[in-house]
């Protein structure tokens, strides 16, 4: 995805205000906002927000949109799609991998489209459960497959750095749609194929 066009336009439009508020937060936590190391921090954080919140400007249904008819009606898996998101409860990063499986019923999407979809859904304030179900629901809406299954693995820095402090622990969420709900062998095939 070209980084240039994939940015949050509102962050750019409100750059001065965002920088001001970040500087205020630094001051309020007890920092010397005029020390050298922090002088450019508000501007850097704001530029980072343009990227990590770029998903708000994406039309998630458009991304898979160019689907074409195919005879293939067997399981298609796109696995190990790396994502990086921000937990909406703490505004702390969480990241991991998305695995997608679907059984087409005539429409398929280019494999790179799924990576773009994952970026669009994850570059926002999110919770892992919603990422999982949103990706599944968009695929079901656009491609109308016989079935779709999405598994998301995530490591949450808000869990590692505060509270329970369990570094390295992973959260796994799944969404199951269509025939995967009733077809245990299809579910098992998907789960076996996404294992490393
Ligand atoms: Zn959190």
CA nearest 113: which of 1, 5, 190, 20?
1
* pLDDT band of 2, cuts 50, 70, 90: very low
Kindly report the CATH class assigned to 66-194.
Answer: alpha beta
156 an active-site residue? yes
At residue 101, the 3 state secondary structure works out as strand
Q: What DSSP string runs through 129-175?
A: HHHHHHHHHHHHHHH--SEEEEEEEEEEHHHHHSTT--TT--EEEEE
Each residue's pLDDT tens digit, 13-68: 999 999 999 999 999 999 999 999 999 999 999 999 999 999 998 888 889 876 67
158 an active-site residue? yes
> What pLDDT score does 160 carry?
64
Residues 50, 86, 134, 156: which is the catalytic one?
A: 156
Each residue's pLDDT tens digit, 69-100: 668 889 999 999 999 999 999 999 999 999 99
> Is position 87 annotated in a ligand binding site?
yes
Output the CA 155–ligand 1 centroid distance in Å. Answer: 10
Q: Output the pTM of the full model.
A: 0.90
Residues 90, 153, 155, 189: which is the catalytic one?
A: 90
CATH topology agreement for domains 9-55 and 66-194 = no
Containing H/E element for 99? strand 93-103
* Domains in the chain: boundaries: 9-55, 66-194
> Is position 90 annotated in a ligand binding site?
yes
Residues 16, 62, 73, 88: which is the catalytic one?
A: 88
> In whole angstroms, what is the distance from residue 154 CA to residue 23 CA?
30
> Is position 158 annotated in a ligand binding site?
yes
CA nearest 8: which of 48, 60, 61?
48
Q: Which long-range contacts (CB under 8 A, 24 or more apart) does 181-185 make?
A: 181/147, 183/147
> In whole angstroms, what is the distance from residue 185 CA to residue 36 CA?
60
Cβ–Cβ < 8 Å for 90, 126 = no
Q: What average pLDDT does the chain have?
A: 91
Containing H/E element for 128? helix 128-143
89 an active-site residue? yes
> In whole angstroms, what is the distance from residue 19 CA to residue 104 CA?
46
Fold of 9-55: GTP Cyclohydrolase I; Chain A, domain 1 (1.10.286)
Output the CA 128–ligand 1 centroid distance in Å. Answer: 10
Cβ–Cβ < 8 Å for 121, 135 = yes
């Amino acid at each position: 995805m070209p980084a240039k066009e994939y940015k949050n336009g509102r962050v750019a439009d409100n750059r001065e205000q965002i920088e001001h508020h970040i500087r205020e937060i630094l001051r309020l936590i007890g920092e010397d906002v005029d020390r050298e190391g922090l002088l450019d921090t508000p501007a850097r954080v704001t530029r980072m927000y343009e990227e990590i919140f770029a998903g708000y400007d994406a039309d998630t249904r458009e991304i898979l949109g160019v689907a074409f008819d195919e005879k293939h009606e067997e399981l298609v898996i796109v696995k190990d799609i790396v994502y990086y998101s921000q937990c909406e409860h703490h505004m702390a990063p969480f990241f991991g991998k998305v695995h997608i499986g679907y059984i087409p019923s005539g429409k398929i999407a280019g494999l790179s489209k799924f990576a773009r979809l994952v970026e669009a859904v994850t570059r926002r304030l999110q919770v892992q459960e919603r990422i999982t179900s949103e990706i599944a629901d968009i695929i079901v809406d656009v491609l109308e497959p016989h079935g779709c299954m999405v598994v998301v693995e995530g490591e949450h820095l808000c869990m590692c750095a505060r509270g329970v402090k369990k570094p390295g622990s992973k959260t796994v969420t799944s969404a199951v749609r269509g025939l995967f709900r009733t077809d245990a062998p299809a579910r098992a095939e998907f789960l076996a194929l996404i294992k490393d």
